[in-house]
Amino acid sequence: MQSVVQVEPLTTARALRGPFDYVRPEGAEVGSLLEVPFGRQTLRAVVTALADSSPHELAVPRRVLPEAIPPELVALGLWMAREYCSTPARALSLMLPPSGVRAKAQLWAEPTAAGRDPGPEVRLTDNQRALLAALPRFAGTDLGALRRLEKRGLVTVAPRDRRRAPEHVAVGARRDPPVLNPEQEAAVHAIATAGPGERLLLHGVTGSGKTEVYLRAAEQTLRAGAGVIVLVPEIGLTPQMIARFVDRFGDTVAVLHSGLSQGERYDEWRRLRDGEARICVGPRSAVLAPLRGVGLVIVDEEHDGTYKHEGDPRYDARLVAQRRAELSGGVLVVGSATPRPESVHALRRIRLAHRADGARLPPVQIVDMRATAAGTVLHRRTHDALVDARKAIVLLNRRGWSNFLTCRSCGHTWECPQCDVTLVLHRAEGAMSCHHCGHREPVPRACPECASVSLARHGTGTERLEHELARIAPVVRLDAGVANPGEALQRFERADRAILVGTQVVAKGHDFADVDLGVVVDADGTLRFPDFRAEERTFSLVTQLAGRAGRGGRAGRVLVQTLDPDAPSIMHAVRHDSDGFLEGELQRRRALRYPPFATLIRIVCSSTEPGAAHAAAHAVRTAVDAAGGAGDGAMLLGPAPLFRLRGRERSQLVIKGPDRYAAIEAAGVAAAAVRAAKAHRTANLSVDVDPQ
Ligand SMILES: Nc1ncnc2c1ncn2[C@@H]1O[C@H](COP(=O)(O)OP(=O)(O)OP(=O)(O)O)[C@@H](O)[C@H]1O
Ligand SMILES: [Zn+2]
């Protein structure tokens, strides 16, 4: 009899790490959530293992709480803690429903045998008869009347959990899904016959019908008695994907997203944990859904940056998805028209080379901006094409009116007081705003240095572009500044003639039937970021935007405005040549030892105290060196200063290591040593394995 539980107390304190032994209470298993005495406090704690005995004197847990998680999530949490240099408590906390919320009990009224269909001899008013006929249901405002019937033995009234999450109702498409084309058929077959823990990449051109493949694969998995997790980039921007799953599977689907109230979230979590719902659709955190026996994990639009979590642990939901599938013997399927070089390198690839409706991919043309006057936003050709178009999507990856303001007399620029970046002008709001910390101030009338009122605006963002486009056709803008993206998308979908303008969100997986023009403004803008993913991002952005045009039977075309028409990422995107792009990109990465040929770990130190961030980063470097490095062939880059953010100086050290586990181990040990050192107590350290 295993009479001891080992637990991880759920605390954010890094130093406080389990496992700690307690007496095993009745009903406690691996995954149980307990309340345990801990010093003078009471903490919640997750059982991570059972044991026969313990060398310690054991305390008795106070309670077993109802929010147990499946054992496979315990294993996943412990793995995440190691993989991302975090703590078991922080990782396990992510798997629990919101704390402080309980199932919501309400009074449920049911007829007794006597109350079911009472004969005419039973004296009842018409109202009472109507009330009885409507049972069973929650009591609500009729409680008084029901209680009177209860006294007469016709009704029972008792508390019952009431679901707050909305019911998912299947409509329409469930009855007649499309007949799969041979490519889709082959993809579904490949998934169905994949072995436990196998990892597949569904590389299908835009509009090739990947969603239908996911739906069929999910159906097979459910039939085999296993559960399904479907990850999507951002719920607000991918309503179609959710709609298609709900439409096909109804209330078997639970949707987890940030728009739910705490109570709704709790209820969806419970439905998954208790096996009432067998498919979970949601953003990255849905990879931690409490389903048992997951047979299939799908990651749609796997190239999307939102799969990386920015809290602690800084997990990558794509890697966690892979681990999750492995732990339960399920299959991982990631899909994209523009997969990451990492996935192409590591996963078995299935291709969908054609659009599902048989249409061709739209022709893409370069519009060379080198000869146009500086400050021109739209080339004449682009302008004319927009005039001719019925529905167009225009992508510009910069928000606001203009990027920055300068004084024409003295050259003063407006910067954020908290961060070393310029403030962006948002004209409609009459504000200058920092896109890093959210600082806002009114638009200046005059220069604070020289009092000149001659101010120059530089650069163009989506707000100014919207203004220009409004002369051509009705405009819908979509970017992070728009309050309700779902509503904006609907407005565009319903319009007869319109231009959708916005940042990268306009390129995300939308399936509009009648877009006949796509435009990328400043396509090389993303290439100017000093980041090894700049090429990948640029290729993906142009290809994804191009993919929104010419769907649903209407011919479409795409124009790409750029100052750098010879950049390989742009040239390959123009030719729809993802193989060529991926091949070149993997060669480049191999030569420069970037992922997937090495693991990157970014350690960022920050402090409000001058010099402290750099000193801490330097100390991390010294600690790694002193411990013999970060594995064979590893390189340390930095410390290098980063721009000041939210009033904190920052300095970063990058570890580039071919031996992943040696690099992670070295980073974890060095960061722990520096965190513990008194000399660096004002510095904050964040360790980011596989930075986005
Ligand atoms: N076998 C089929 N026959 C006809 N139409 C289909 C078939 N499969 C899918 N479709 C339709 O093709 C369209 C594109 O499918 P879907 O949105 O799944 O593309 P996708 O591969 O996800 O593209 P993207 O990468 O651009 O998001 C949808 O409207 C879908 O209903
Ligand atoms: Zn700022």
What is the strand order of the sheet 294-299 is part of?
A: 253-255, 279-282, 227-231, 294-299, 331-336, 199-204, 348-352
Structure tokens at 183: 């490519």
Residue bearing the bigger pLDDT, 507 or 167: 507
What gap in Å lies between CA 675 and CA 640, rounded to an integer? 19
Q: What's the pLDDT tens digit per position in 536-555?
A: 999 999 999 998 888 877 78
Q: How confident is the model at residue 570 (pLDDT cuts 50, 70, 90)?
A: very high
Q: What is the pLDDT of residue 138?
A: 78
Q: Is the ipTM of this complex over 0.90?
A: yes
The confidence score (pLDDT) of residue 157 equals 85
Domain 364-400+462-592 has CATH 3.40.50.300: yes
pLDDT band at 171 (very low <50, low <70, confident <90, very high): low
Does ligand 1 come within 6 angstroms of the Cβ of 211?
yes
For the chain, the straight-line distance linking the first and the last C-alpha, in angstroms and rounded, comes to 47
Residue 4 CA to residue 23 CA, distance in Å, equals: 5
C-beta atoms surrounding 619 within 10 Å = 22
280 is in an annotated binding site: no
Ligand 2 centre distance from Cα of residue 462 (Å): 20
Tell me the two tokens of residue 321: 């998805």
pLDDT at 665: 96
Q: How far apart are CA 523 and CA 563, in angstroms?
A: 8
Q: Could you tell me which residues come within 8 angstroms of residue 648 by beta carbon, excluding any fewer than 6 positions away?
A: 606, 607, 608, 613, 684
419 a known binding residue?
yes
| pLDDT score for 165 | 67
Residue ID of nearest Cα to ligand 1 atom 6: 356
| Residue ID of nearest Cα to ligand 1 atom 26 | 206
Angle in degrees, CA 283, 287, 290, rounded to 5: 120
Pick 4-93's CATH classification: 3.40.1440.60, 3.30.360.10, 1.10.760.10, 3.40.50.720.
3.40.1440.60
Does residue 212 line the site of ligand 1, with CB under 6 A?
yes
Average pLDDT over residues 644-664: 95
Rounded Cα distance between 691 and 611, Å, is: 25
Does the annotation place 416 within a ligand binding site? Answer: yes
Q: Give the separation between CA 28 and CA 451, rounded to whole angstroms.
A: 72
What's the whole-number mean pLDDT along residues 4-25?
89
Which CATH homologous superfamily contains domain 172-352? Answer: P-loop containing nucleotide triphosphate hydrolases (3.40.50.300)
Query: Alpha-carbon distance 92 to 94, whole Å?
Result: 5
Three-class SS state of 348: strand
Distances (CA, A) of 42 to 11, 36, 89: 11, 6, 15
Short-list 195, 229, 232, CA closest to 348: 195
Q: Percent of the chain scored above 90 by pLDDT?
A: 68
CB of 184 within 6 A of ligand 1: the answer is: yes
Cβ(651) – ligand 1 distance below 6 Å? no
What is 599-689's CATH topology? Alpha-Beta Plaits (3.30.70)
Q: Collect all residues with Cβ–Cβ distance below 8 Å to 585 and sequence separation of at least 6.
A: 341, 535, 536, 539
511 CA → ligand 1 middle, Å = 8
- Pick the residue with more confidence: 175 or 12? 12
Whether the predicted pLDDT of 578 surpasses 60: yes
Q: What is the pLDDT of residues 27-36, one digit of tens each?
A: 999 999 999 9
Q: Are strands 4-9 and 41-51 parallel, antiparallel or unpaired?
A: antiparallel
Whether 85 has a binding-site annotation, put simply, is: no
Instruction: Give residue 351's identity as a one-letter amino acid code.
Output: R
Q: Which ligand is nearest to the CA of 417?
A: 2
Q: How confident is the model at residue 388 (pLDDT cuts 50, 70, 90)?
A: very high
Burial class (CB in 10 A: 0-12, 13-18, 19+), 334: buried
User: Helix 182-192 vs helix 210-223: angle between axes, to the nearest 10 degrees?
Assistant: 40
| Residue 511 CB less than 6 A away from ligand 1 | yes
Q: Is 407 annotated as a binding residue?
A: yes
